[in-house]
Structure formats: structure tokens, C-alpha cells
Structure 1
Amino acid sequence: MLPASMKKRVRQHVNPLSAKYGTPLPPPNWAEIFADPTHPLHLDIGSARGQFAIAMAQQWPDWNFLGLEIREPLVEAAQRQAQALTNAHFLFGNANNSLRGILTALPPGVLRSASIQFPDPWFKKRHQKRRVVQPELVHVLAEVLPAGGQVFLQSDIESVAVAMGDRFSEHGGFVRSSPDWLDASPFPVQTEREAVTLSQGKPVYRALYVRT
């Protein structure tokens, strides 16, 4: 849990187009952050407090988990919780301008899957260019994921889930696993937002895209 003083400093929504987040994140030294950087990698874009990636890393020790989050206090808190793990790491950065540099620096073929879960909705039309799932992000994932690689999307807002899916469907390098929303996540771990939404009896809109 974050201390109360830190919670007050964490903004719920961060504008990725502001100058503060305009500098791309340099790629890390993979050998320094993972015990074995050749293990299959799952990328969680918008990892928030990191609870999903940390729990997944504990359950899947033969995989590496990388969380990318734009709110720095959340990254710092997640990294502290992951200190004892050698297969989980968190980066503070803007996915819209840092993803290419990070992923193209990976050992070839290690990225096997990615997730984008409950991203900031940015409801107003003039703000939708701030949404994380933009054509360039989809293109970068398509460049790095091997055939059969997967991208899992979910949101508690149907219009946001539809828009994310549209960006992947438009690319042509991905095929949706089912035309209908998935009844359950393919992962054994729920995000914090997912657990709260389901506990309230509200729907979650999920889709899985596979690299062709």
C-alpha cells in the first residue's frame, strides 16, 4: 500500500502529451534488471502499482515481467515491492514515445505477450489523442512480437475497449481470438481495478489479439 502522503501526490490522469513526458525513456540494461533476460517476457503497459505484474512474476518464475507506467510515484512503490524478485521490474516512462526504444533493445524473440488493462479513458473527443493505444504503439508491438504473440486488452468502459480493439484490428498484423468479449482473463491474476469492478457486479470488456 502507498502511504497517505504519497497517494495525495499521484494524479489519477497524466497527460502524456505534456512537455514533462516528452523525452523518450532510454532502454535499460536487461542483464541488470532480470536474472535471465532470455526468458519469455510479458509487458504490462500502464502497470499502475504493479500488483498484477508482481503476482504474475511470483506464479510464473520462468517468465520475466516488465511494467511500464507514466506516474513515477507508482513505479517507485512497485519497484520497492518487487525487490525480492529477479523476474519483475518497473520503468517510469511514456509508452507513446518510449516503447520503440525499449522493445527494439530487447534480446530478439523474448517478448511474447503484452497487456493494456483499464487505461485512462480520456472521454472528451479532443483528448482522445492522449489515449495510450495509438496506431504507432500497435505498430511497435507488431514489429517486436513474434507470430503467435498475444496482446490482452481490458477495460470497464465499453467504448474504450472498442476503441482499443479497433486500433489493433485496423493494423492488419493481429487477429482477434473471438468476435465476442471474453468471459474471463487468460491470466490467473486480476488487476486491482478488475477485482473492484467485478466485486461491484459490473462488466469488464476483454479482448485478446494474436500476432499473425
Structure 2
Amino acid sequence: MRQHVNPLSRFFQLPLELPAPDQLFDAANRPIHLDIGCARGVCLLELAALKPDWNHLGVEIRRPLVLAAQRERDRLALSNLHYLFCNANISLEGWMAELPDDQLQLVSIQFPDPWFKRRHRKRRVLQPSLLLAIASALLPGRELFLQSDVLEVVEPMVTLVELSGCFDRPAVDARPWRADNPLPVPTERERYVHEQGLKAYRVLYRRNTQPLPQREELEIAWQRVDNPADVSVNH
């Protein structure tokens, strides 16, 4: 299977109506961990077993991976776990807006597809509209976790989050990168990175009390950043 799909192609621009939590989980009122770009979702299988008092939702743009992950979830009968096929930038915003207050408590984006070239920036998973939808759904103190083994991938995400002004980093976290994963289970890619002696770049954010900026203003500010590595952010 090809590693990448083009999220801007017509097929992936079709909005999908995603099921509400009461259609996904046996106990719909539990806190939700949303993992965007979950791939085969192996770490979520372990997390769902370790944290049965949470609901875990993985979304992925590659449908065959979602089907395989859901089969494994069904085999293990994990009723607090579900996987959905969708383009996060097209279908998640409305879904998060319909959630009850404070049900979404953690969002993670781990090792997203590495669209390196600047002309491909619109293909990257964390776009201004998606970030603002996440910030709107998270109450103060709830968390957004980002990690990648590619600086050119994680730095634009960090730049965008900090331009929004909606999130702060825990004071105790190391700068510029957090030393460990706050989740108790690593992803498959994270395991590979560790085995190869490579570095994972991690940042944990917590929603603050600042109001959301206008989307157009955030998009303009982000577009003005020619090289995210050169932007002064609060590392």
C-alpha cells in the first residue's frame, strides 16, 4: 500500500457524516481520546484495554487500514474503541462541534504523513480550520499531543498551534521538545524510531482560556511564515 494519499483529491474532499458517540461506543458518555491519523491503530488497541474508562476513536484517511483495524477491534470485542475512515480536515470539524461539553479531553496527532515541500503544505493534516475546531472542542486544561520523527513535519504544526494563542505548554516540559510520550503506549512508528536510535520530537499542549482567533487571520499569519523553522515560537 502506498504510504501517502493526496487529501486534496476529489474523492477525499467529499464530506462524510460521522456517527455520534452513542453509535460508536457502548457507554457514550465516557471521555474521548481522538487520535488523528491512526494508521492501523495498533497503539489504540492497547490503550483501549489499558484505559477502559475512556472511549478511544482513531480516524484515518486510508480506508484499507481502517477496515483492518476495525476487524481487529471486533475480534478483541473492545467496545470503548472505534476506527473511522475520513479526511480529518473535511469531516471532523462538524463532528467535534456536536460533542457534549468536555467530552473530548485528548487529541493526538502522531507521526503524520511527511509532506515536506512547501507547495504541499495544504496536504498536511494540521490545517488552521482543524486546529481551531480542536481548540473549540477542548475545554481549558484538556490536551493536544503532537509528535513526529521529522523536524520538517513537526515544526509547522508547532508554529501553527502557537500562532493560534489557544494553547500553552506545561511549565515542567523540556524545551524545545518533550522528553517522553505522555501516552502509556507508543505507536508502531514510535517503536521503530526508538529501535533505530532516532529522535522523536514531541510537544504536549494544554488548552488555555484565550478565545479563538478568526480563521482568516490565523491562515494569513501562517501563510506569512516562509520557513517554520525560523519562526520564533515559545519553545
Q: Is TM (by shorter chain) over 0.5?
A: yes
Task: Give the match for residue 124 of structure 1.
Answer: 117
**AA of the residue aligned to 1:108:** D
**TM-score between the two structures when normalised by the length of structure 2:** 0.84
Instruction: Structure 2 unaligned segments of length 5 or more: list them.
Output: 209-235
**AA of the residue aligned to 2:96:** L
Which piece of structure 1 moves more, 159-168 or 73-82? 159-168
Instruction: Structure 1 unaligned segments of length 5 or more: list them.
Output: 1-9
Which piece of structure 1 moves more, 194-203 or 173-182? 173-182
Task: Give the match for residue 7 of structure 1.
Answer: none
Task: Give the match for residue 104 of structure 1.
Answer: 97
What SS does structure 1 have at the residue aligned with 2:146? Answer: strand
Task: Give the match for residue 158 of structure 2.
Answer: 165
Query: Are 2:55 and 1:64 equivalent residues in the alignment?
Result: yes
Task: Give the match for residue 12 of structure 2.
Answer: 21
**AA of the residue aligned to 1:201:** G
> Within 5 Å, which residues of 2 pair with 1:32-181?
32-83=23-74, 84-177=77-170, 178=173, 179-181=175-177
- Counterpart Cα distance in 2 of 1:148 and 1:154: 19
Q: For residue 108 of structure 1, report the CA deviation from its aligned partner.
A: 2.6
Render the CA deviation track for 1:26-76: whole Å, top value 9, x for unaligned: 020322210111100000000000111111111000000000100000000
- Counterpart Cα distance in 1 of 2:199 and 2:20: 40
- Counterpart Cα distance in 2 of 1:51 and 1:110: 23
Query: Are 2:174 and 1:182 equivalent residues in the alignment?
Result: no
8 Å Cα contact 1:184-1:206 kept in structure 2: yes
Residue correspondences, number = 203
- Counterpart Cα distance in 1 of 2:45 and 2:25: 13
**AA of the residue aligned to 1:197:** V
Q: For residue 129 of structure 1, report the CA deviation from its aligned partner.
A: 1.2
- Counterpart Cα distance in 2 of 1:87 and 1:109: 17
- Counterpart Cα distance in 1 of 2:27 and 2:4: 34
Q: For residue 87 of structure 1, report the CA deviation from its aligned partner.
A: 0.4
RMSD: 1.0
- Counterpart Cα distance in 1 of 2:95 and 2:59: 10
